[in-house]
């Protein structure tokens, strides 16, 4: 219950994503994957909220909401 890890919310703005793979490659726990030309969340439970994807995305396409 309270020990359960609180998961962040990852918002992907598909209209902005150009499929450069930067977020997928630089995610240390491989949370993200490519679905066609657009990034999508593969396994949210692995997310450690490091914000690397949000920091590195050149296209403003990823937002990580972590409390």
Partner 1 sequence: MAYDYDKYIRPGKLPHIWCPGCGHGIVLKGLIRAMDSLNLKKEETAIVSGIGCASRLPGYMDCCTLHTAHGRAAAFATGVKLARPEMNVILVGGDGDGTAIGGNHFIHACRRNIDMTYVIMNNYIYGMTGGQFSPTTPHLMKASTTPYGNPDPSFDIAKLAIGAGATFVARGTAFHANQIDKLIAEGIQHKGMSVIEILDDCPTTYGRRNKYKSVIEMMNRLKEVAVPVKAAEKMTAEQLQGKILTGVLYKADLPEYCAEYQKVIERSQGGAK
- Contact positions vs partner 1 (CB under 8 A): 11, 15-16, 18-22, 25-26, 54-61, 63-66
Q: Cα separation of 28 and 34, whole Å?
A: 15
Q: What is the phi-psi region of residue 25: left when phi exceeds 0, alpha when psi lies from -120 to 50, beta otherwise?
A: alpha
Closest contact distance (angstroms) between CB of 50 and partner 1 is 11
Q: Which is nearer to partner 1, 18 or 43 (CB)?
A: 18
Q: Cα separation of 48 and 27, whole Å?
A: 10
Closest contact distance (angstroms) between CB of 5 and partner 1 is 18
Closest contact distance (angstroms) between CB of 27 and partner 1 is 12
């Amino acid at each position: 219950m309270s020990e359960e890890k609180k998961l962040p919310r990852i918002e992907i703005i598909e209209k902005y994503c150009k499929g450069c793979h930067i977020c997928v490659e630089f995610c240390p726990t491989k949370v993200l994957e490519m679905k066609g030309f657009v990034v999508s969340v593969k396994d949210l439970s692995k997310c450690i909220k490091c914000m690397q994807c949000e920091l590195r995305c050149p296209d403003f396409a990823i937002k990580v909401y972590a409390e």
